[in-house]
Every structure is written in C-alpha cells, then in structure tokens.
C-alpha cells in the first residue's frame, strides 16, 4: 500500500520548492516525487495533506556521538558500557522524533546500534559508524596524565590512543574488526581537551599515511577532526577524504579540498555557541571564543570555492546538546552565512554523500523513503527544523515512526 504526502515540497538537491508537490512511497522506496497534478493516486493509498508545513528528505547528522551519556549516566557515575549502550537505544528514538533518519557516528556504541537497527531488533535512524576515534598520546582524545595510555585504551569506548605507524595501523584494523565503515582521526588539537592547543598538529605524516592506506585497503576512507590549519593541510596531503569542524582553515587548505572534492562537516552550532554554555572549564571557554570567529571565515571561504558542506552537530545528547535539537545546526548554518536552501541541502543530500549512500537524502523517485514533514516553511523561517516539537511526520526506511498529520482517504 502506498503512502502519499501532499503539499509544499523541498527536494534536498537545491531545486526550487514545489508549492503543490506530492511524494508517494511504497515499501522503503519513493515511487513518485513531483507536481501533485501529474500523479494518479491509487485508490487504497493513505494520503496526508501537510497544510502550512513542508515535506523534506529525512535529516542526516554526519557527525554525532552515540555515547548514551545523558540517559545512562557517565563512567564518572559508575555506569558501565552496557548501560550507556542501552541509553543509546533511547537516544535513537529521540533523533527519529526530531526528523533525523540518518547518522554518521563516531563511537563504539554506534557499531552495535547500527547492526541492531539493520537487523530490525530496534527502531532507529540508519547509522554509519566509524567506531572509536584514533588520536595520539597527549592529543585531543587524551584525557590527560591521570591514567596511563594502556589503562585509557583498555577502558575507553570512545577513542583509541595510538603512536607510531605500526600502532596506528593496528588501531585502524581494530576498528574494521569491530565493523567500522570508515576511520576518524584527530589531526589537530581541540576545544575540549586539557593538554593541547587547538592548532597543535597531531600525528606525524608517516602515521597519517599508515592509517589512510589501511582504510583504502578496506575500500573506505579517513575523516579528520581539524581545528588548526597546519594539521588540516598535512592530513589532506596524506589523503584524508573528509574534514570535520575545519575551524581555522585558510585558502591553502580550502583550495586543496576543492581540487580533491573533499567535503566539510563544520559542526557550527557548537562552534558558534559553546563559549556561552554553562559548566565549561575555563581553558575550553577561552579556546571556544577564538573558534567562533574563525568558523564564520571558513564558511565564507568554503562557499566561495564551492566546497560541499554537510550538516554535522557533534552532539552527544549531553545537557547542552540534546538529541531533540540536532536541527539547531540548520539555524547555525544560516547564522554563519549560508542560505536556508544551502543548509537544507547540507542536512540532506550532501550529508548522504558523506555517509556514502547514493540513493539517500533527496525526494526523488527510486530513493530510500526517509521523509520528514515540518510545521512551517524553512525557507522563510529555518527554526521550524530546529527541534522535535516542529516535526509532524517521519518515515525512516519507509516505516512511519511519527505521524501527527490528519488522515484522509482518497474517495
Ligand atoms: Zn566530534
């Protein structure tokens, strides 16, 4: 039986909106997307009119951390990984309700959660997980000299410290062994880490190459957390194929990204607002202030060079980064100088490209039926994508998981 949505429609590809559009899906595929008048609705179809709302492709967060934190406590509270993992199951429901039907995850939990969703054991967005992040001793993933590297690696479900090409290769192989679909490294320092500067270069060129080559042997790629420009440049030279944050990029890095068609996942909401969040340690607040200004400059350069910008939040459902509000990233992109349409394409089609799923992220015949309806017109007010309260309808892989629209049967 077909499901039919009728009303204003934005295709995710950047095309002009259709005021009287129609999207029909059956099973997990879109069977029609276009002008309503040109489609004959089958007699037994379920039809929903979206009123003042808008039909969009399901949102995709290309940079999330499914750590289960807020729903299961942190290790500091004495909670173990199993508790956090089960907290992650609840988080997937929050993300769906907020319209997010696709996630690129960076954590160990995402490996298990992605398989459970694929098997149908739990309901959630489609998840592409890279497993643990790889970082150097004393780098962005190192919590400091309170524990030994060995103790840290044994306990962490979030990252793996690795040093020297052999250890780096092994660390990448461990992620593939656990089911990772790509590898994420930390190529520079970051805001939240205690012992580095944001512009520290992390990993030597031979270490970067070892990880990139290992990923290519597994027919996949490496993405890099990048704040400072020099570490970003070295990561790009080594063959990294996606840049996360990209806070302080200069024309040199942006030009190289354009030449190699490397996308940027800028995580702007955090970048622009983290300095004002409560409970931040002083060292992080100072680093964050510097980053906000740089981020705006990076976005201007990236737009000038035609870099594909994909939506990513860096949210982990902490107190400040609720999974009901990942859509704030759409707002932050507009705040940083992107148009509403560019931010929508970033959170749908371009993010699907970063997930490397070809038939996702657009309202187009034959594409996967991940579809969202919001209660307003995001081209006039982008805030109608910003939190779960605005989302009226969600279909994930053709399964209707939220439906607050009025039901009408065709006569
Ligand atoms: Zn992150």
User: Quick one: pLDDT at residue 132?
Assistant: 96
Distance 101 CA to ligand 1 centre (A): 19
Distance 345 CA to ligand 1 centre (A): 21
pTM of the complete model beyond 0.85? yes
Residues 232 and 253 in one domain: yes
CATH number at residue 43: 2.30.40.10
Q: Which residues pair with 161 in a beta bridge?
A: 135
Residues 35 and 147 in one domain: no
Query: Final residue of a domain: which of 355, 375, 396?
Result: 355
Residues 105 and 184 in one domain: yes
Distance 268 CA to ligand 1 centre (A): 12
**82 or 116, higher pLDDT:** 116
Counted domains in the chain: 2
Distance 224 CA to ligand 1 centre (A): 10
- pLDDT, average across residues 94-107: 97
Distance 77 CA to ligand 1 centre (A): 22
CATH number at residue 64: 3.20.20.140
Confidence grade of residue 409 (pLDDT, cut at 50, 70, 90):
very low
Residues 63 and 36 in one domain: no
User: Quick one: pLDDT at residue 264?
Assistant: 98
**Given the DSSP bridges, would you call strands 183-186 and 222-226 parallel, antiparallel or unpaired?**
parallel
Residues 100 and 193 in one domain: yes
Asked whether residue 137 carries a pLDDT value surpassing 90, the answer given is yes
Residue 74 C-alpha from the chain's centroid: 22
**336-371 residue pLDDT tens:** 999 999 999 999 999 999 999 999 999 999 999 999
Three-state secondary structure call for residue 283? helix
Three-state secondary structure call for residue 411? coil
Distance 364 CA to ligand 1 centre (A): 31
Domain that holds residue 400: 3-57+364-409
Distance 311 CA to ligand 1 centre (A): 12
Distance 65 CA to ligand 1 centre (A): 7
Distance 390 CA to ligand 1 centre (A): 26
Residues 7 and 88 in one domain: no
**What six digits make up the tokens of 254?**
């942006």
Q: Say what percent of the chain tops pLDDT 70.
A: 95
Residues 52 and 64 in one domain: no
Residues 33 and 110 in one domain: no
Residues 371 and 227 in one domain: no
Query: Final residue of a domain: which of 329, 355, 381?
Result: 355
The mean of the pLDDT values for the chain is 92
CA dihedral 328, 334, 338, 340 (to 10 degrees): 90
Confidence grade of residue 70 (pLDDT, cut at 50, 70, 90):
low
Confidence grade of residue 80 (pLDDT, cut at 50, 70, 90):
confident
Residues 398 and 257 in one domain: no
Residues 111 and 39 in one domain: no
Query: Final residue of a domain: which of 311, 326, 355?
Result: 355
Distance 304 CA to ligand 1 centre (A): 25
d(CA 249, CA 233): 9
Q: Which residues pair with 222 in a beta bridge?
A: 183
Q: Give the burial class of 107: count Cβ atoms within 10 A of its Cβ; 0-12 exposed, 13-18 middle, 19 or more buried.
A: buried
**253-290 residue pLDDT tens:** 999 999 999 999 999 999 898 888 777 777 777 777 77
Residues 144 and 244 in one domain: yes
Q: Say what percent of the chain tops pLDDT 90.
A: 78
């Amino acid at each position: 039986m077909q499901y039919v949505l009728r009303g204003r429609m934005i295709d995710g590809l950047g095309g002009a909106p259709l005021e009287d559009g129609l999207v029909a899906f059956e099973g997990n595929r879109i069977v029609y997307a276009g002008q309503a008048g040109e489609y004959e609705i089958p007699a037994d179809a379920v039809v929903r009119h979206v009123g003042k709302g808008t039909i969009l492709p399901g949102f995709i967060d290309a940079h999330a951390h499914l750590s289960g934190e807020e729903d299961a406590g942190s290790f500091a509270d004495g909670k173990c990984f199993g508790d956090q993992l089960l907290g992650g199951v609840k988080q997937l429901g929050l993300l769906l309700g907020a319209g997010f039907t696709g996630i690129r995850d960076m954590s160990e939990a995402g490996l298990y959660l992605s398989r459970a969703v694929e098997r149908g054991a739990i309901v959630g967005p489609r998840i592409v997980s890279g497993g643990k992040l790889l970082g150097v001793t004393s780098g962005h993933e190192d919590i400091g000299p309170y524990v030994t590297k060995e103790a840290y690696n044994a306990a962490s479900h979030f990252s793996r410290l690795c040093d020297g090409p052999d250890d780096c290769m092994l660390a990448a192989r461990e992620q593939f062994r656990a089911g990772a679909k790509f590898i994420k490294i930390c190529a520079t320092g970051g805001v939240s880490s205690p012992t580095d500067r944001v512009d520290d270069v992390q990993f030597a060129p031979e270490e970067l190459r070892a990880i990139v080559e290992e990923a290519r042997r597994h027919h996949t790629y490496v993405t890099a957390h990048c704040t400072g420009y020099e570490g970003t440049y070295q990561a790009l030279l080594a063959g990294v194929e996606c840049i996360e944050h990209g806070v302080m990029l200069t024309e040199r890095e942006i030009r190289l990204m354009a030449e190699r068609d490397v996308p940027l996942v800028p995580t702007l909401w955090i970048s622009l607002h983290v300095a004002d969040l409560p409970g931040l340690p002083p060292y992080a607040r100072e680093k964050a202030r510097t980053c906000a200004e740089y981020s705006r400059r990076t976005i201007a350069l990236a737009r000038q060079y035609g870099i594909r910008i994909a939506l990513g939040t860096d949210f982990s459902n902490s107190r400040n980064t609720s999974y009901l509000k990942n859509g704030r990233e759409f707002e932050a992109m507009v705040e940083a100088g992107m148009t509403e349409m560019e931010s929508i394409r970033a959170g749908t089609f371009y993010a699907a490209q970063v997930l490397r799923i070809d038939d996702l992220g657009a309202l187009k015949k034959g594409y996967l039926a991940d579809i969202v309806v919001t209660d307003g017109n995001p081209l006039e007010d982008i805030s109608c994508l910003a939190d779960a309260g605005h989302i009226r309808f969600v279909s994930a892989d053709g399964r209707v998981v939220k439906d607050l629209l009025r039901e009408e049967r065709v006569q």
